[in-house]
Structure 1
């Protein structure tokens, strides 16, 4: 069927975070919210139908996860990425970030050093620091608006005795889809210095322009043995409110340790609605997904062309993956706090401040373009007017 991604749907009445927290975080509830990384699109019809069928049953008691759940995950990963996964090494969790936090808590020791590559998703910082582990930041290299891994710096951090590296692949916020060769070179460093990898691949199905996502654990058997992969249907199919993810371990011992920690917290099974939704997504959601990716590409082009033509002081590159655009606002001459206040008070648009992703995000903003184009048109026009009056 043909999906209408131009449809504007009221989310305020559903307590959507991007609306509900505007006043608290940005000072006004009337801003255009382009900050939280979820989509303003209705999900695939087979997902809605599956959830309606589940609701019609009328009973929402304790629910076991069927064996077919992980079968569907494996089949989807094999089809989309040619990634063969042993379902015996998979666990379900409440989300990618709860998984990463639990992995760090359970599989590292206080004082252990963990590498992240900045600018990067802020909860990575928190997951390490709140666990009393030592954070080692390896800044990405920026060359003409495009970002690259800094292998020299990574090796220097590795020499400091790092135990783990949290990989963001594809990368949030800069939109890189790391190539096989880039990931292989990173893997060589990790193997050389005995570093294990937590690979956050939540955006791995949101790949644009014919780029190819390479699961880090699929590169070689050696890298599979040191990698814990975190994936989810919730980012791909706009189901984040169902709070579900999948963790793929290199061996049964690590999986057992992870599962044991959740058992101690009496966190068992899946939300009963998430089982229906996620199985429908993996089985029947590809038609929607392919149309979504095309629409996101068109949105990216629209935003890129608008900035180039009407707001050239703000530089933007097309992301290779995700629906997030990294805006270089440094020519505006505003620091992090000033830039955020300018965008909210003058332009009426709420975006994520670059400093949220690390100190090397100063002067940048992250824009979520997974929304109807009419919303982007309004936001961009407001930004254009505000910049012209700056």
Structure 2
């Protein structure tokens, strides 16, 4: 395992990505899902080698990425997807849209489970469909899919579901039993399930992640997965994702996509993804998970001591914290006041759907110092 620590704030402010350019320098940016860690050494080496060679052309028609991802899935998830049933594209969002366009007709319903990643609503609209919202069930200790509600949505005419697994923003890892039941319901109604599994490499040790396509025969028949190294390895700007299938009919859908869908893959993104999914990167990823584990517990401790009215459940995966501030009394969108008065940028809870009222999403993929400073700034609003 390698030790993975965040860069100093002064260096981070030299970055030119969205996280560090959206707000003035007096704001701590903990909103967008970018991390503050150096690249994995394997990724840096692959990109440097490409620059040295001037290897900046089009992606090749045959690449090692499918086989490399299959090996990664075998090591990390005990799953053996078929490399021949994978195809690359620019990013997970593009993969979702292109698949939804082929498995739905204009105006048909696509089930989503708010609170959920806000672009899901836009991606469904871009594909020409309409979102059908079936909120997660809050069990009091976690969140679960509302399988009865999803069944009702399919009975009502929805023809597909856009699944977030692991779930953003709650960090929930759905059980194999739940995913199997979901697949069987979808199969009963002839509906497709498109599973966004971008956060899967960030599942914490001791938590079992089940890829949707590995959740049984029905999942193979109805399912499409879209995966990427971009969240775990901070590669969003390099543009590379994989669309994965597990049956001949679903594979035919992905194979039938125009070649331009695949050619939109970034060449540097593909090179970086191959390096990230290689076995040589596992020690770095293990180190990252250890750091995130420490950060998620630190956040719990800080909230308990400085914002005791906040409610937060430690996520099973990822580096995003879903925090309920409704008892603090800062309205439906507390992130607005926090940004204006505490100079901390968090993601607006209501953007995730109706269940997000009173919530904020905080990115703890950073240093303990920045997390601590952010909570101290927010707590001063209560102290006043």
**TM-score, length-scaled by structure 1:** 0.93
Instruction: Check if 1:336 corresponds to 2:332.
Output: yes
Instruction: Check if 1:346 corresponds to 2:347.
Output: no
**For 1:386 and 1:248, how far apart are their aligned partners in 2?**
46
Map residues 235-314 of structure 1 onto 2, 5 A cutoff: 235-251=231-247, 254-258=250-254, 260-263=256-259, 265=260, 268=263, 270-283=265-278, 284-314=280-310
Q: CA deviation at 1:62?
A: 2.7
Please tell me whether the aligned partners of residues 353 and 365 of structure 1 are also in contact (alpha carbons under 8 angstroms). Answer: yes
**For 2:16 and 2:234, how far apart are their aligned partners in 1?**
15
- The residue number in structure 1 matching 2:20 is 19
Q: CA deviation at 1:340?
A: 2.1
- The residue number in structure 1 matching 2:7 is 7
> Is there any run of 5+ residues in structure 2 with no aligned partner, and where?
none
Matched position secondary structure for 2:174: coil
- The residue number in structure 1 matching 2:371 is 376
Q: CA deviation at 1:262?
A: 3.8
> Is there any run of 5+ residues in structure 1 with no aligned partner, and where?
23-27
Matched position secondary structure for 2:56: coil
- Worse-matched range after superposition: 164-173 or 305-314: 305-314
Q: CA deviation at 1:53?
A: 1.4
CA distance 1:59–1:87, shift in 2 (3 Å): closer
**TM-score, length-scaled by structure 2:** 0.94
**For 1:7 and 1:287, how far apart are their aligned partners in 2?**
19
The aligned length equals: 382
**For 2:142 and 2:250, how far apart are their aligned partners in 1?**
36
- The residue number in structure 1 matching 2:154 is 158
Structure 1, residues 256-280: CA drift from partner, whole Å, max 9, x if none? Answer: 55455442x4761643322332222
- The residue number in structure 1 matching 2:227 is 231
Q: CA deviation at 1:360?
A: 1.1
Instruction: Check if 1:215 corresponds to 2:211.
Output: yes
CA distance 1:379–1:322, shift in 2 (3 Å): same
Question: Aligned-residue CA RMSD in angstroms?
Answer: 1.9
